[in-house]
Amino acid sequence: MISTILLLGTVCSTVTGRLGRVAGTLRRQVLWPVGRTLERLLAPIDRVLDPVADGYNRSLGPYFGEMSGLQFGVIAVSVVGLLTAGYWAPMVGPLLGGGLLRTLALASIWAIFAMSWDIQSGYTGYISFGHSALSGAAGYTTALLIVHVDPTLSIWVTGSVSVLAALVVGLLIALPTLRLEGPYFSLITFVAVLLFYRLTTAFSSLGGIPGFGQPDVFTWDPMLRYYYMAIPMLLIALALTFMARSNLGMILIAIRENEPAVSAAGLNPTKFKLWSFMLSSVPMGIGGVLLVGFTGNVDPSTFVVVDNSIEMIAIAVIGGMSSILGPLGGAFLFEVLNHQVLHGYSTPVRYLFLWLIVLFVLVFARDGLFRAIWHRLGAVRGESE
């Protein structure tokens, strides 16, 4: 038995080493030359946009991060594209199999989940497998209020109570676990989401709450539904980016890099980790409320299952952890691939392909695809001047 384990370890080490060498060769011989060529082509565009970017950097750069001309252009085009998707997506959708606006709405929800996970786990390095319990708490609270209390309750009432429920569940998970270090935090969050899942399946009244909603809370109009999801997502991205660039974000990164040094500086890492979990719980609750509005029902397999937490991690890995905007881009890439590009394949085949992409990113682009692209766009600025 021991010899078998040692043999498997040797094989894994050999395969990992060879993959690493292949990745290095691919970067040197293919990716870097292509990147250099693109930088030369994009340099004139960067120079044109540079004055606008400088104006942004002087006014808002200290709060949301400075950008080069190209980076500013990419952000501006992306925001405009998202805000106008309700008009162009129905025309482009048929080329991708239809339903593009629905996919973009769903991607907006998953972007909220991935960004929320990232501000806690990506920045502190404490990997949580239990974040789906937070969105599940918010989703079930919304459904129970509408079905069992008053179906005419305003979205502002149900949404506020649901976000509070997510925050309470987040505190129940965080308070006993954030003093722990190493893998114990991750294991406890994993057990927490399993317990929450079993709670919803143990009681028939929580097993599934189908078919509810009212016109002033949820809508089935594709365009309105998209904007219900996209606008909160953009506002959350703005807020989390501001927090990540603040002193709090710097301290969270310091905890990830060297927690004993943070303690030696007179700061309490547990307090700041608790703040990060609370900060993560609020948008997770908002995402859970929006997911209720998107699906029109609540059940454990959609809201609470641990697969949701793992999918958040996969999205953050694809986009680039500890960057906020990286997980946002990763969510749209993941969902468009899943529901548009691969829509003709069965669910197992689609997820096999998607997890291969995650593996590819982990081996060849550990900082994430969108984070790597972002840094390359920023590098053009120095070479163009």
Structural domains present in the chain? 61-380 (1.10.3470)
Residue 326 has what pLDDT?
Answer: 93
Residues of the chain under the 70 pLDDT cut = 1-39, 182, 203-219, 381-385
Look-up of token digits 């973009």: 104
Give φ, ψ of 198 to 5 degrees.
-65, -30
DSSP 38-88: HHHHHHHHHHHHHHHHHHHHHHTHHHH----HHHHHHHHHHHHHHHTHHHH
Residue 2 has what pLDDT?
Answer: 45
- Per-residue tokens: 97: 């199999």
Burial readout 148-181 (b: 16 or more C-beta within 10 A, e: otherwise): eeeeebebeebbebbbbbbbebbeebbeebbeee
Residue 77 has what pLDDT?
Answer: 95
* Rounded distance between C-alpha atoms, residue 223 and residue 345, angstroms: 26
| 0.85 surpassed by pTM | yes
DSSP 186-251: HHHHHHHHHHHHHHHHHSHHHH-B-S---TTT----HHHHHHHHHHHHHHHHHHHHHHHHSHHHHH
Residues 6+ apart with CB under 8 A from 110: 311, 312, 315, 331, 334, 335
Residue 205 has what pLDDT?
Answer: 54
* Rounded distance between C-alpha atoms, residue 317 and residue 327, angstroms: 7
- Per-residue tokens: 327: 């997980």
Burial readout 329-344 (b: 16 or more C-beta within 10 A, e: otherwise): bbbbbbbbbbbbebee
Residue 16 has what pLDDT?
Answer: 47
* Rounded distance between C-alpha atoms, residue 38 and residue 125, angstroms: 33
Which amino acid is it at 186?
S
